[in-house]
Structure 1
Amino acid sequence: MGNILLYDTTLRDGTQAEDISFQVEDKVRIAKRLDELGIDYIEGGWPGSNPKDITFFQAIKKETLTTSKIAAFGSTRRARITPAEDNNIQMLIEAAPDTVTIFGKTWDFHVREALRISLEENLELINDSLVYLKERVGEVIYDAEHFFDGYKSNPEYALQSLQAAAAADVDCIVLCDTNGGTLPHEFPVIMAAVQKAISTPLGIHAHNDNGCAIANSLMAVHLGATHVQGTLNGFGERCGNADLCSIIPALNLKMGKECLGAGRLATLRSASRYIYELANLTPNKHQPYVGNSAFAHKGGVHVSAIERHPETYEHIRPEAVGNRTRILISDLSGRANILAKAEECGIELDSKDPVTLEILEDIKDMENQGFQFEGAEASFELLMLKSMGKLKQYFSVTAFRVIDTLRESDKAPVSEATIRVKVGGKVEHTAADGNGPVNALDFAMRKALVNFYPQIADVKLLDYKVRVLPANQGTDSVIRVLVESGDHDQRWGTVGVSTNVIDASYQALADALIYKLYKDNH
């Protein structure tokens, strides 16, 4: 098995993505989580570009990391000054990281048009910048920016730029597909030319503009690269960087390449979710390996097969990366789905039990009406329990009313909900204001129930989605509402369907509270 060094640049390249911004405290927390995951290098930022990155390098020194080296990123010196006179290079040294990574130009087009210097002068600034840093920093990595485009344009010059870096005795030269346009089949010829020109260890830094960043990274490793750069979840500018969440398990489980430490691969999904959370982004459910749908099965034939042998429809065991098999319930479901889902919920069902067929028929009928249980597994579990006569009636809503009142033309309407709830022999009649009619109804229902069930106060509404079905019927359409709720320990989804958006919302909100009460008692 060959050892591959993993270099994470979430804290620099990742922050260049649209909608992503990390505070210093976030960056420190992410660095600590990447260290726990077993990443070899964590690129903390560019000290010469902004005060936030300078603060990060000061803050991370106060932390004790067990696995990762902290790398600072920058560029070769500017033209017509020496490295000693270049403020960016001096700030890289002052940041006192474990490793310094700088990039330089390999594409003759960039040298002429961006730097506006001669090709020979560019080779000089690559070499003397790296020589200067190598004398003052323990480890130096060189990123050959736009290498693949540069090689296609002028292979001789692109290789000369690598040789200028190799002559400085750098620790690794990283070939960068900066524009993300290279295809995997182009790698063998180009990598062979590089390996003939230099003997320095090679790395790969791929962007995903043509959807091939992961494939290109794995191809580079197959051809001899020993250092892989990327970001967790593929965060990055434009279409993103190579996603380490796919690269890491592919290296470990499919290519026999050692990376991370023993037992750490199983923490990959939790690390992915942690970084999504700090980025304030919804996780991509279809993300390979770590996404919620990565090992989710919907068709009855698929479910029946994986119940016998998971390998029939799963390329790895999901537990290897901290994920799990999920059985989805829909009108495509067969009996095997119902039985598997019941087992997952801790409910005993017999395949010959008429209740099983009854649940299956109910699901198909309800989905014809517009219900969807794929994102509302709590509602499905309640449906099973009701069919089996195992669900207690915690409360009943005997009446509710929601009023929107426009009091001033230039201000939003005021929403008020009143509700009558019966628990046992007691009736609670209450009202609440809210930010919109659904919010008012949610508040009123909780207010009416909290005296009977104090744990209701722990439930938070995390997400609320409305879909019009079918859209071509305009205001006469059926409405589906999906609600995601959570407490201190878990999250769950519920669904409601009606021609009235308030009624559909009520169904989903009521299911969410009933599910909480059921789980707390079982």
Structure 2
Amino acid sequence: MDTTLRDGAQTTSVSFTLNDKIRIALALDDLGVHYIEGGWPGSNPKDEEFFKEISKYSLKAKVAAFGSTKKKGVRAEEDKNLNAIIDSGVKVAVLFGKSWTLHVTHVLKVSKEENLELVYDSIRYLRDHGLEVIFDAEHFYQGYKEDEEYALEVIKTAEEAGASVIALADTNGGTLPHEIYEITSRVVKELKAKVGLHMHNDSGCAVANTLMGVLAGARHVQGTINGLGERTGNADLIQVIPNLQLKMGFKVIPDLTKLKGVSRLVYELSGLHPNPYQPFVGDNAFSHKAGVHADAVMKVPRAYEHIDPTLVGNQRRIVISELAGSSNLLNYLEKIGIKVDKKDERLRKALQKIKEMENKGYSFDLAPASAVLQILKELGIYTKFIDLQYWKVINESGNLSLAVVKVNSQLQASEGVGPVHALDMAVRNALQKVYPELSRVKLIDYRVVLPGEIKNTESLVRVTIEFTDGKDNWRTEGVSTSVIEASVIALIDGLDYYLQVSKKLKTEILN
């Protein structure tokens, strides 16, 4: 069961619009999750509207509404929260209740017997209205460790009331994997209902705890896309699903290759940057930087890769850097149609040049296209298509900037929104007269970082620009004490790389 739209929406700084929630729900349905927890209809108007809107779609997944057991002193049929779930029109309710005596007596402030009545009456009321009920035993593992007998009594009461799934929640995320296994194993033996898991990541163990719970016999798993959730988040389904399917032999979803796309959509709609180090789908999940690693993985992929990256919609990436070896360079050359002997002395010189540039502030693992240009120059197959002889930028009031450039003996001036845009326009206007194919190249990302200082006085600026021609993407980089000059270097490299590849290198073969 995915709870991105409920527990994931409780992530600090994340706020999904109604349209965001619909888009995510449709993506989750396409992914093949079995339950989509859409929100808490008794808590806010947006979630109530979501259930109305999502009912207009024919989903394969079951849409579930979340809520709590009835309030103390109120009959189930009079409880607004329970009736909001019924009124939402869903067929599945996810109901949470207290299973830790601390919360029963000190937070909810009822007797242990009263809490059992709250659990039973709430579940029974929803069942009598035809709903399937998943009972989330809040703080179950904490409760079990303090009062084993009562924690078990709570979930047995939920089972007796008609809950089809009893989900054991590690609500404060403080339980470790070996404890999860031991306690879950005991619960599986005690219950006839399906046992589920709801893990938080406060100890960094949410994914491991989920897998250990499954090993112990649980067969219902809850989590969120990208591990969104309260505090440090929930179990990341992007990690849980492929581990269950590829490593543990469970059939979870029909097509794992959709995982990366769903992950990126949720990052986009949550306003968060994708985590490049995220297992399975991160951009660095199958990146190889050290020369030894790259050489081995190009010969035998499983030497350093635990799965084929394409299984989860990802791809292998060989990084060019100061730690790279000849194999890293060969990989990039082969991608653009260049074949060079690994023992070619020119490769060694190119690698040395790259290491020298990285020592000065470049980071070619972020912008490999700039490194490829250096390799081509060392190989002696570089053609100088662009000769930038002069440039100047004038910033006027507001956002207007004027750029004047002299490139390939042509003088061109352009205005733009900001200095980089103005420079881009001026350079293009001059070059497209000779190279019309540059009209296909678009600048799609621009980033600035400060990698260090020179003699403790001037700060270096590193600018990375990403380009696309609609088919391929590439990144180039410039380093300078001036952000404008660094931008010019990266911009020219980006256009230059495209011309080198499109005009010459796809048919060039070296022996």
Normalising to structure 1: TM-score of the pair? 0.90
Matched-pair contact (CA < 8 Å) for 2:105–2:111: yes
Query: Is the Cα–Cα contact under 8 Å of residues 464 and 482 in structure 1 kept in the other structure?
Result: yes
Question: Is the 2:405–2:423 Cα contact (8 Å) retained in structure 1?
Answer: no
- Give the 5 Å matches for 1:128-277: 128-261=121-254, 264-277=255-268
Asked whether the 8 Å contact 2:440–2:470 carries over to 1, the reply is: no
Moved more, 94-103 or 387-396: 387-396
Q: In the alignment, which of 111, 114, 120 is matched to residue 121 of structure 1?
A: 114
**Cα pair distance change 1:427/1:254, threshold 3 Å:** same
Deviation at 1:386, TM superposition (A): 3.8
Larger CA deviation: 484-493 vs 173-182: 484-493
Shift of 1:487: 5.4
| 1:329 alignment partner, SS class | coil
Q: Give the CA deviation at 1:73.
A: 0.8
| 1:323-334 equivalence runs, <5 A | 323-334=314-325
Shift of 1:427: 1.2
Determine the structure 1 residue equivalent to 2:375.
Answer: 384
Query: How many Å apart are 1:442 and its aligned residue?
Result: 4.0
* Structure 1 residue ranges, 4+ long, deviating more than 6 angstroms after superposition: none
RMSD across aligned positions (CA): 2.2
Structure 1 385/277 Cα, relative in aligned 2: closer, same or farther at 3 Å? Answer: farther
Distance 2:148 2:243 in 1: 31
CA distance in 1, matches of 2:411, 2:84: 66
What is the identity, as a one-letter code, of the residue corresponding to 1:186? E
Q: CA deviation at 1:459?
A: 1.2
- Measured against aligned partners, the alpha-carbon deviations of 1:75-103 in whole angstroms (never above 9, x if no partner) come to 11111111110111111111111311110
- Give the conservation status (yes or no) of the 8 Å contact 2:463–2:479: yes
> Which aligned pairs between 1:397-416 and structure 2 lie closer than 5 A?
397-404=388-395, 416=401
Amino acid at match of 1:54: E
Assess, with a 3 A threshold, how the Cα gap between structure 1 residues 345 and 30 changes in structure 2: closer, same or farther: farther
Partner of 1:495: helix, strand, or coil?
A: strand
Deviations 1:194-248 (A, max 9, x none): 2343221100000001100000000000000000000111111111110011111
Aligned mate of 1:418, from 392, 395, 403: 403
Contact 1:404 1:415 in 2 (8 A): yes
Deviations 1:335-363 (A, max 9, x none): 11111222234332222333322321221
Query: Which residue number in structure 2 is paired with residue 3 of structure 1?
Result: none
Match of residue 342 from structure 1: 333
Inter-partner Cα distance in structure 2 for 1:29 and 1:277:
11
Distance in 1 between the 2:330 and 2:134 partners? 54
Q: CA deviation at 1:282?
A: 1.5
Residue 495 (structure 1) aligns with: 477
SS of the equivalent of 1:257 reads: coil
Q: Tell me if the contact between 2:407 and 2:427 (Cα under 8 Å) persists in the aligned partners.
A: no
What is the 5 A alignment of 1:81-96? 81-96=74-89
For 1:363, the aligned partner's letter is I
Distance verdict in 2 for CA 1:280–1:451, change over 3 Å: farther
- Letter in structure 2 aligned against 1:459: K
Q: In the TM superposition, what are the counterparts of 1:366-385 in structure 2 within 5 Å?
A: 366-385=357-376
Q: Distance in 2 between matches of 1:454 and 1:51?
A: 51
Equivalent residues of 1:483, 1:495 under 8 A apart: yes
The DSSP-based 3-state class of the residue aligned with 1:470 is strand
1:78 maps to: 71
AA of the residue aligned to 2:315: R
What's the CA shift string for 1:316-335, capped at 9, x where partnerless? Answer: 11111111111111111111
Given residue 19 of structure 1, which amino acid in structure 2 is its aligned partner?
S
Q: Is it true that 1:8 corresponds to 2:2 in the alignment? A: yes
* CA–CA distance in structure 2, aligned partners of residues 153 and 183 of structure 1: 15
CA distance in 2, matches of 1:73, 1:422: 63
Sort the Cα spacing of 1:224 and 1:389 in 2 relative to 1 into closer, same or farther, 3 A: same
Q: Deviations over 1:166-198 (max 9, x none)?
A: 111211000001111100111233123323432
Q: Deviations over 1:15-52 (max 9, x none)?
A: 11122221111111111111111111111111111111
* Structure 1 position 517, deviation (Å): 4.8
Distance 1:209 1:339, change over 3 A: same
Q: Deviations over 1:107-136 (max 9, x none)?
A: 111112221211111110100100111121
* Structure 1 residue 297 displacement after superposition: 0.6
* Aligned-partner SS, 2:161: coil
1:31 to 25, 28, 38: 25
Q: Return the alpha-carbon distance in structure 2 between the equivalents of residues 16 and 22 of structure 1.
A: 10
Q: Is the 8 A contact 1:463 1:485 kept in 2?
A: no
- Which sections of structure 2, spanning at least 5 residues, go unmatched? 507-511
Q: Provide the residue aligned with 2:276 in structure 1.
A: 285
Size of the alignment, in residue pairs?
503
Alpha-carbon deviation of 1:500? 2.6
Which residues of structure 1 form unaligned runs of 5+? 1-6
5 Å-filtered alignment, 1:19-58, equals 19-58=13-52
